[in-house]
Amino acid sequence: MDTTGILDEALQRLHGSGPERLGRLTNHAPMAVEALSARGQAGTVHRWLDLYARKLEEFPSRVEPVTATNWRAALGDPRRAADWIDHFEREIADRPWRDVLAQWWPRLLPGMYGGSTHPLIRVGHAVRTLLAGEGTAPRLAELAHGLGYWAARHHPIADLAPLPGTGTGGADAALDAVPPLTERHGTFPDRLGRVASLPVWAAAAAVADPDEARLRLVELVRAATHRYATHGHGEEILLVHAATAPNAVLRTLPALPPALWAPSLRAAWTASAAVTAMYAPDTPVVYTPPGTFTADEVFERARAHGDEHVIKLTDTALDVGDGAALAAALRSVELNEPLR
């Protein structure tokens, strides 16, 4: 983890910007600079930010404070992003950040699908930083920004019908069993509203033991990451989140009470499977990487490419750590447009 202070400088630089741009696209910079710092590339952070700066917008206007009595009415209102961020900054200033996270995680988890899962992913990056090092003011503020963005974009989905006979195999088989949407057009929320049923792989109530939930979540992250190599061409950006969203949950588990691990698995599975249903292609491809590379070499390729989704998927691939995951990261370098 970065001990140079560069990550803190970058976060301070970013906290004057809003969590979105153009009213619907996510500001990925806080997540990307955390990944760069965590992977030993802190020295490249400010140069990367200089390239990304054109995508940043000013911090949004405030409406009215979020309080203990009115928060339910403000939940899921994107106009209230600044109010929510202010609220969590106050909460984290008054109490240990783990206590705030434990209180709000079960409230926010049902709405992790809002903002195309980006708010959750931002929280996962913030928590990793806090677990790895000192809880500096910029890092605590980053958690407040992530939680505030999540609350503002909170978007639950209706109960999904379980697909019978799909709860006994591994995560790979479960993702293969996800039925694709017949109408694959429209925005992320549009498509999400058309997802009606998913395999029951991690939705079964029997998955209640915290340790089993964690192991299944590890398995899901691995399977979704591997799958990008063969399916990422279906939608090179959105399919990244089938892996990075559950990995954000996995990174957060150590900061949560074990009683929250099983419901976290179920929500992460629903998000990963829903993204698969919405964007996976009908036909996978056989992908052959352009050579053999170490993990550091793969991350250097992602850093040089610069696209925020490539950086984040490669960061997740390094968490998985095997050759198939590194191949998926190299595939993302090929499929996505570089940051210029």
User: Does 117 share its domain with 30?
Assistant: yes
Pick the more confident residue, 33 or 162. 33
User: Into how many domains does the chain fold?
Assistant: 2
Range of the domain at 244: 157-340
- C-alpha–C-alpha distance, residues 231 and 180, integer Å: 13
pLDDT at 29 over 70: yes
For the residues 103-125, what does the mean pLDDT come to? 97
- C-alpha–C-alpha distance, residues 87 and 27, integer Å: 20
User: Does 133 share its domain with 189?
Assistant: no
pLDDT at 204 over 80: no
Tell me the whole-structure pTM to 2 decimals.
0.96
Task: List CB contacts of 106: < 8 A, sequence separation 6 or more.
Answer: 260, 263
Last residue of a domain, one of 93, 126, 152: 152
For 141, 248, 328, 337, the CA distances from 331, given in Å and listed in that order, are 34, 21, 5, 12
Residue where the block lists tokens 């799909």: 166
Residue 297 in contact with residue 205, Cβ under 8 Å?
no
User: Does 303 share its domain with 162?
Assistant: yes
What percentage of the chain exceeds 90 in pLDDT?
89
How does the average pLDDT of the chain come out, rounded?
94
Going by the DSSP 8-state scheme, the letter that residue 197 receives in this structure is: E
